[in-house]
C-alpha cells in the first residue's frame, strides 16, 4: 500500500466514452508513476440505472486500452452495511436530520436564501422545522432523505491541478429517500476503507470535494490528495456524451474503424504525451507512463468532434 494508491470508480449506467477512458488512463498514470496500487470500484448505488452488462463492458474497454488494476473489483452495492455504520456514527453525534423537501422546494428555498452558502446549495430548511412541522411531514407518509448538519463550515484544500480551493459546505444528503446511501457518503467511506491516497477524477467533481473532506474529518477517515483533471467536451462545448456521436470504443470501431490503440493514441495526444505522427501501436501504457508528468498536463478541456 502506498500513500499515492489510486482508483477509478465508474457508475455502470452505460458504456464508457472517450472522456471517461481519458480520466481512467490519467488515474492509472498518476498511480503507476508513483509506484502505487491502482484499484477499480464499481459505483452501482443506483439500482434503477446500474446494469451488470454495462459493468462488464466497462471493464472490457478499460482492459482494451491497456489498463490493469490490483486486486478484485469492488462494488458499492456490496458494502451497504459499512455505509450504514458510517451513517449511524454521524447520527450518534447528532449530525443527521430528516429532510422531506422536494427538488422544486429546494430550488425555491435556495433562491430565497441569504448567507454564505453557494448558489443552489441546500439552506437547511428541514433542520429548522418545529416539532409540529416535523410531525406533520412524518404523518404524510413520504419517506425523508437524511442530511448532514454541516454547520456551514468553510473547507479548504490544495488540488494538484487547480491549486487552492475553498468553499462553504451545505447540508448534503447522506441517505436518499429510496433507502440507498448517497454518493458523497459512500465514496468517502469506500475511499477510506480501500486506502486510497490520491483521488484523480474529472474536474466536474471539484465542487463536491469540500463536502467529502468534511465527511472524512467527521468519520475519522484519512484525507487523500486530489487531482481534478480537465474534461473532454463535444463540439457544442458541453461535456462529452452519447449525443455527440461516435464516442465509445464500440462506436468508434464501427463508424471510424478505430482500434482500442487508436483511442489510446487520441487520449495520449490530447494530454501532450504523443506526437501526431507517432503510430498508435507504439504508444503503449508503459511508454505513456515513462513520459507522464503532472506539470505537463493541460489545464483546459479538450474538444472531441465525434
Residue numbering of the annotated binding site for L-glutamate: 7-11, 43, 183, 201
| Overall average pLDDT of the 145-162 stretch | 96
User: Is residue 31 domain-shared with residue 99, that is, in the same domain?
Assistant: no
The pLDDT assigned to 113 comes to: 60
42 located within any domain: yes
1: pLDDT strictly greater than 70: no
SS3 label, residue 145: strand
Query: pTM, whole model, 2 decimals?
Result: 0.94
Residue numbering of the annotated binding site: 7-11, 43, 99, 101, 122, 126, 183, 201, 242
User: Is residue 207 domain-shared with residue 89, that is, in the same domain?
Assistant: yes
The percentage of residues in the chain with a pLDDT greater than 70, rounded to a whole number, is: 97
SS3 label, residue 277: coil
| Overall average pLDDT of the 82-86 stretch | 98
The rounded radius of gyration (Å) of the Cα atoms in the chain is 21
CA dist 258 and 261 (Å) reads 8
The pLDDT assigned to 93 comes to: 97
234 located within any domain: no
User: Is residue 115 domain-shared with residue 249, that is, in the same domain?
Assistant: no
Spell out the residues 6+ positions from residue 233 whose beta carbon is closer than 8 angstroms to its own. Answer: 239, 240, 301, 302, 303, 304
Q: Which of 169, 202, 229 is the last residue of a domain?
A: 229
pLDDT band for position 118 (cuts 50, 70, 90): confident
| Overall average pLDDT of the 197-225 stretch | 97
Q: Which three cell numbers stand for residue 188?
A: 468517502
Spell out the residues 6+ positions from residue 53 whose beta carbon is closer than 8 angstroms to its own. Answer: none
User: Is residue 148 domain-shared with residue 168, that is, in the same domain?
Assistant: yes
Residue numbering of the annotated binding site for Zn(2+): 99, 101, 122, 126
| Overall average pLDDT of the 293-301 stretch | 94
Residue numbering of the annotated binding site for ATP: 242
Range of the domain at 53: 1-72+245-306
pLDDT in tens, 177-186: 999 999 999 9
pLDDT in tens, 133-152: 999 999 988 999 999 999 99
User: Is residue 155 domain-shared with residue 203, that is, in the same domain?
Assistant: yes
236 located within any domain: no
Quote the distance between the C-alpha of residue 110 and its chain's center: 24
243: pLDDT strictly greater than 90: no
Phi, psi (degrees; rounded to nearest 5) at 234: -80, 175
Q: Which of 166, 196, 229 is the last residue of a domain?
A: 229
- Mean pLDDT computed over every residue of the chain: 94
H or E stretch covering 120: none
171 located within any domain: yes
The pLDDT assigned to 159 comes to: 97
Please state the domain count of the chain: 2
CA dist 287 and 271 (Å) reads 13
CA dist 299 and 231 (Å) reads 10
277 located within any domain: yes
The pLDDT assigned to 133 comes to: 94
User: Is residue 189 domain-shared with residue 254, that is, in the same domain?
Assistant: no
The pLDDT assigned to 115 comes to: 65
User: Is residue 160 domain-shared with residue 294, that is, in the same domain?
Assistant: no
263: pLDDT strictly greater than 70: yes
User: Is residue 95 domain-shared with residue 139, that is, in the same domain?
Assistant: yes
User: Is residue 276 domain-shared with residue 163, that is, in the same domain?
Assistant: no
User: Is residue 156 domain-shared with residue 217, that is, in the same domain?
Assistant: yes
Q: Which of 202, 229, 256 is the last residue of a domain?
A: 229
The pLDDT assigned to 245 comes to: 83
Spell out the residues 6+ positions from residue 299 whose beta carbon is closer than 8 angstroms to its own. Answer: 161, 230
User: Is residue 149 domain-shared with residue 196, that is, in the same domain?
Assistant: yes
287 located within any domain: yes
The pLDDT assigned to 303 comes to: 94
pLDDT band for position 13 (cuts 50, 70, 90): very high
81: pLDDT strictly greater than 70: yes
237 located within any domain: no
CATH number at residue 107: 3.40.50.620
109 located within any domain: yes
User: Is residue 104 domain-shared with residue 223, that is, in the same domain?
Assistant: yes
Amino acid at each position: 500500500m502506498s500513500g499515492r494508491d489510486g482508483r477509478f470508480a465508474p457508475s455502470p449506467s452505460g458504456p464508457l466514452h472517450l472522456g471517461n477512458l481519458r480520466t481512467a488512463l490519467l488515474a492509472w498514470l498518476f498511480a503507476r508513476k508513483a509506484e502505487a496500487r491502482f484499484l477499480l470500484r464499481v459505483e452501482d448505488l443506483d439500482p434503477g440505472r446500474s446494469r451488470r452488462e454495462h459493468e462488464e463492458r466497462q471493464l472490457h474497454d478499460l482492459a482494451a486500452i491497456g489498463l490493469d488494476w490490483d486486486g478484485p473489483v469492488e462494488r458499492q452495492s456490496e458494502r451497504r452495511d459499512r455505509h450504514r455504520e458510517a451513517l449511524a456514527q454521524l447520527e450518534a453525534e447528532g449530525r443527521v436530520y430528516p429532510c422531506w423537501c422536494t427538488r422544486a422546494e429546494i430550488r425555491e428555498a435556495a433562491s430565497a436564501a441569504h448567507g454564505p452558502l453557494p448558489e443552489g446549495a441546500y439552506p437547511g430548511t428541514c433542520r429548522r422545522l418545529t416539532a409540529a412541522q416535523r410531525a406533520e411531514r412524518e404523518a404524510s407518509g413520504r419517506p425523508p432523505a437524511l442530511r448532514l448538519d454541516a454547520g456551514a463550515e468553510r473547507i479548504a484544500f490544495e488540488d494538484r491541478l487547480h491549486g487552492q480551493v475553498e468553499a462553504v459546505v451545505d447540508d448534503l444528503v447522506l441517505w436518499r429517500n429510496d433507502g440507498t446511501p448517497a454518493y458523497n457518503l459512500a465514496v468517502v467511506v469506500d475511499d477510506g476503507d480501500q486506502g486510497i491516497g490520491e483521488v484523480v477524477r474529472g474536474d466536474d467533481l471539484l465542487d463536491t470535494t469540500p463536502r467529502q473532506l468534511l465527511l472524512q474529518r467527521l468519520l475519522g477517515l484519512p484525507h487523500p490528495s486530489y487531482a481534478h483533471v480537465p474534461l473532454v467536451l463535444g463540439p457544442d462545448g458541453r461535456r462529452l456524451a452519447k449525443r455527440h456521436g461516435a464516442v465509445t470504443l464500440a462506436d468508434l470501431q464501427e463508424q471510424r474503424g478505430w482500434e482500442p490503440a487508436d483511442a489510446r493514441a487520441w487520449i495520449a495526444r490530447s494530454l501532450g504525451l504523443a506526437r501526431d505522427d507517432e503510430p498508435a501501436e507504439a504508444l503503449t501504457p508503459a511508454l505513456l507512463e515513462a513520459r507522464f508528468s503532472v506539470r505537463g498536463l493541460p489545464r483546459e478541456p479538450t474538444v472531441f468532434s465525434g
